[in-house]
Structure 1
Amino acid sequence: MSATFEGKPWTASFTLAQTMLMAGKPMLNLSGTEQGSPTKTFNSMLVLKNPNDLAGSYKLKTGSAPNSANFNILDSGAMVGHVRFASGEIVIDKYDAAAKTIAGHFSGSGNDESGRSEKLIDGKFSGIPVTEQ
């Protein structure tokens, strides 16, 4: 998983794609973390259109867990940056049911805690194993 955040390249050291039921709805938690100083994490929660075929387009919105995403920056265990994406999209281009992996792309824009506009662009992911909670 990789993207451009604040005009700089970001590449996840590890990724997670996990399906679960939340309030009776099938959900996918898709995230990637770049370890380092600071540690940067992209995290999203998507309401699945079809729990047996994850492929599809998921528009991001703010204010609720379904179809939401954020980007967190931690330094020495303290949160030093947090962006909630008010718009954008995560597209799962391919779900390989036999291998249980997903591939796709994503982008988003939103504001940090100070109200400054931030963008995440050119996001890509492939071969991420999907597990069940």
Structure 2
Amino acid sequence: MAVRLRTLLQLLSLATAIGIPLSLQRVSADEAVMSATFDGKPWTASFTLAQTMQMAGKPMLNLSGTEQGSPTMTFNSMLALKDPNDLVGSYPLKTGSPANSANFNILDSGAMVGHVHFGSGEIVIDKYDAATKTISGHFDASGKDESGKPEALTDGKFSGIPVATQ
């Protein structure tokens, strides 16, 4: 599953680099639709993605946000949907579960310099606006980086993120 997520991230990065639209919403720092605190510092997504898909016959939602810069930092999650037509709900993150998982990747000059796998926490979709097909909610997560150092993503918020279907 980790290989699939890594491959998905690489494909999304490549598609963005060559300009293929993927229902990404570019925002300025003042209009941020996803933000949190990571390692005690503010993190704000430069662009976001929310896409529903089928994996192993189950409805899933990929929710991610990337802060461009040096380094580039991406929050990525895969959530097993209870109802593909109503995304509202609480999605607890679990260690070793492909159903509700999240990670944080840190890239510098195109090379992976950090990776945090979140083993606990929660992503909550508070609102799904069917008319505009957007989601809003909040999240918190904790886990460990590759060296075993504890990391936390706190005070996470997202709003108005368009949801695309695959």
The normalised TM-score by structure 1 is 0.99
What is the Cα deviation at residue 64 of structure 1?
2.9
Q: Could you say which residue in structure 2 is the equivalent of 1:18?
A: 51
Distance 1:43 1:111 in 2: 15
Name the counterpart of 2:162: 129
C-alpha separation in 1, matches of 2:130 and 2:117: 31
Between the two proteins, the alignment pairs up a number of residues equal to 133
RMSD of equivalent CA atoms = 0.5
Looking at structure 2, the residues matched to 124 and 49 of structure 1 have their Cα atoms a distance apart, in angstroms, of 21
1:78 paired to 2:117 = no
Partners in 2 of 1:62 and 1:19 — Cα distance?
A: 22
Amino acid at match of 1:41: T
Sequence identity (%): 83
Whether 1:109 aligns to 2:154 is no
Q: Would you identify which runs of 4 or more consecutive aligned residues in structure 1 move more than 4 Å?
A: none
2:147 aligned with 1:95, yes or no? no
Unaligned runs of 5+ residues in structure 2 are 1-33
- 1:37 and 2:63 equivalent? no
Structure 1: stretches of 5+ with no match in the other structure: none
How far does residue 107 in structure 1 lie from its aligned partner after superposition?
A: 0.5
State the 1:62 CA deviation.
1.9
Residue 44 of structure 1 deviates from its aligned partner by 0.1
Q: Structure 2 length as normaliser, TM-score?
A: 0.79
In proportion to residue count, which structure has more helix?
2
